[in-house]
Amino acid sequence: MQDKNGMNSKTNEKKKFSEIKGFSSFTSALMAIVIGLLFGFIVMLLANPNNAVAGFRYVLLGGLGRFGDVLYFATPILMTGLSVAFAFKMGLFNIGASGQYTMGMFFALYVAFMFNLPPSIHWIVAILAGMIGGMLWGFIPGIFKSLLNVNEVITSIMTNYIGMYLVDMLIRSNEAMYIPSMTRTKYIPQHVQIRSLGIAGSNVNFGVIFAILIAIVLYIILQKTTFGYELKATGYNKYAAEYAGMNGKRNIILTMVIAGALSGLGGAFAILAPSEIIGSSMTYEPINVIAVNGFNGIAVALLGNSHPIGTIFSALFISYIQRGGTLASLVGYKPEIIDLVISVIIYFSAFAAIMSSALGRFITRRNKKEKIVSNTQSVGNIEADINNKEAEK
Amino acid sequence: MNTIYYLVQNMLPVSIPLLLVALGGMFTERSGVINIGLEGTMLTGAFAGALFAYTIQGSGLSPNMILLICMIVAAVAGAIFAQLLSFAAVTMKANQVIVGTAMNMMMPALILLISKMFFNSDGITTNVRYFIREVPVLSGIPVIGDLFFKNTYLTVLIGFLILIISTLVLYKTKFGLRLRACGEHPHAADSVGINVSKMRYIGVTISGILGGLGGYFYSVGITDGNINGHNGVAGFGFLALAVMIFGQWQPIKIMFAALFFAFLRTLAYSIPLIPFLANLNIPTDYYKMMPYVATIIVLALTSKNSRAPKAEGIPFDKAQR
């Protein structure tokens, strides 16, 4: 409806409209964040009024002193966030990021333990293996969606569980990588770990740089390539895109495979991260629990408005308040409060976009009315006005 | 024969949460709203029910009386929680999938938060024993008595009662007809004077009630009346969505779908007790994966002639033609 208005009005108004649209997606995210944080503050007040202010200060500012950790914990959720966001652009809801992430972890672990490669390339191969694992797990919902028209939400939820059970089983049965007495995998050899960035007091590594670069590449793919254009066109209107000769079926599979690859890379970055403590590393615990980072990725993507660059910032933001939430436990609050805040943010971001686009529409209409008064009425303006009135109804 | 009795006795309490929640999903989708948030709704019901059971467990009421009271609490809690969806999806015309996802994220966090603050644990543990070893008189019936009236829970009976009521409501009442119209063609419904928004609010509320009940029955029949925020309801809300699609949005077919999934799950957890399967020496993880693999296969086979309500997921806009 908005696009119709934009197309019908004159070019200068079109420009103004696009300004407001960009503005509104930012304000809507901001609006949702403010509401979510306020909600968190109220919960803190209810739980323990005496420490609420101190706790809330930790949530808001606690991340500042731990910037390395913010980057470190942002890496996996940035990748799963990109995965969900990329599929969203096509109109697909990739709720299966968890399964793809877990598969990515397993493939990376497998290469790390079972392959004998020169140290200089071993870690690269492990990362790529993680990507392939994710691709494989993204391919399943993709092919079921495109060939058999099975809803991707259900298949990807199922692949989450299948992936989790499968990986747990494979790891438990593999003596080379699993220590039964500690219910976790062995430490990964030093040379397979991703190089640390060397920030004291945190495990932050080159993974975060790779992740940001990947986000930028995705942005370019979406904005500058035919494939990206087809993807977005299919997301806006499937039938129109098909009528224009775009191969919807192929694009669905491709999108899900790429989304899977992104989540898989996230898993690889997470499991191959170095540890501050010499001789240790990240480990995987096969305890039949679905990877949380996949679901956090959904939050990241939604908050970032499914835009690759926006996703970078939302991943940093969520990681930031999560660090703050961990610190809030110093004054007796539970870190779960942050999950609650994030879910409230997501809830409101679902219709904050609608609220602020209504706001945007209101502003455009007022601008137009002013023009009508000052200028002699042009045909384009009248048309736009009629359209607006129709939209109002 | 004993193995069959055992499987059926264990399968029924598992199938009831799936059945109820899938029926709830059916009611919302038939009214035109997609409810991904069923997992969260189930958790709400399970938590509210268990919390209430915890507070009244010392009052000397019989376990089944407690069950009936907590059932109502769970249903009310589910209905209230579902208003988060109806407000966002119907009034604010928001993306229903996003709202549902937010609801699913909200509940585990809330449960963990409350239980950690007030109970110093990850959830609520009650000591009410809902288990019924034998139903008097009825368990004496040969075969049927063994199948349905031994080693069971009251939830099974209530579940099937709700199934019958749901079928009647959906197909035999004016309300059911109107609800279905809103999911198929809301504008046609609107043109003959049906209040589409109201019907959708009611549809979502019913799913809240049934989702809450299903969640509480999950905690009764599967986790011994306890609930914790980490495991939650083990994805039953999502499985119920698959059951609903497999059941083609029709109550009786949904029942068979729920029984099918419950059977696979029960089988996966009782392999050591079945000599034939235990001798095959296949790791139990394969069996645990089976319900999920079966879902994908079944959906692949049935999706070609899917009977999804036509207007589901699309916010109703009066001005649209």
Asked if A149 lies within 8 A of B304 by C-beta distance, the reply is yes
Instruction: List the single residue in B97, B283, B296 with the smallest CB-CB distance to A169.
Output: B283
Q: What is the arithmetic mean of pLDDT over A73-97?
A: 93
**Is the CB of B84 inside 8 Å of chain A's CB atoms?**
yes
Q: Where are the domains of chain A?
A: 1-48+335-381, 67-332
Q: Which of B302, B249, B255 is nearest to B30 (CA)?
A: B249
Q: What is the arithmetic mean of pLDDT over A268-277?
A: 87
pLDDT tens-digit readout, A306-345: 899 999 999 999 999 999 888 888 888 888 888 899 999 8
Is 60 exceeded by the pLDDT of residue A392? no
State what percent of residues in chain A have pLDDT above 90: 35
Give B152's strand partners. Answer: B132
pLDDT tens-digit readout, B147-167: 888 888 889 999 999 999 999
Is 50 exceeded by the pLDDT of residue A10? no
CB burial of A51-80 (b: ≥16 within 10 Å; e: otherwise) equals bbeebbebbbebbeebbbbbbbbbbbbbbb
What is this model's ipTM?
Answer: 0.88
- Binned at pLDDT 50, 70 and 90, residue A279 comes out as confident
Q: Determine the Cα–Cα distance for residues B108 and B103; give it in Å rounded to an integer.
A: 9
Is 90 exceeded by the pLDDT of residue A280? no
Q: Between A235 and B200, where is the model more confident?
A: B200
Most A CBs within 10 Å, among B81, B107, B114, B117, to test the A interface:
B117
- Please state, rounded to an integer, the average pLDDT across all residues of chain A: 83
Min Cα distance A350 → chain B (Å) is: 6
Min Cα distance B119 → chain A (Å) is: 13
pLDDT at B28: 93
Q: Is B134 helix (H, G, I), strand (E, B) or coil?
A: strand
Please say whether the beta carbons of B200 and B33 come within 8 A: yes
Cα angle value B283/B286/B288 (rounded, 5°): 110
The greatest distance separating any two alpha carbons of chain A, rounded to the nearest whole angstrom, comes to: 83
Min Cα distance A144 → chain B (Å) is: 7
Highest-confidence segment of A249-253, A263-267, A321-325: A263-267
Q: B227-228 and B123-124: which strand pairing?
A: antiparallel
**Is the CB of A303 inside 8 Å of chain B's CB atoms?**
no
Q: What is the arithmetic mean of pLDDT over B214-228?
A: 90
pLDDT tens-digit readout, A105-160: 999 999 999 988 888 899 999 999 999 999 999 999 999 988 888 888 888 888 99
State what percent of residues in chain A have pLDDT above 70: 85
pTM, 2 dp: 0.85
Q: A184-185 and B150-152: which strand pairing?
A: unpaired
Q: Which fold has domain A67-332?
A: ABC transporter involved in vitamin B12 uptake, BtuC (1.10.3470)
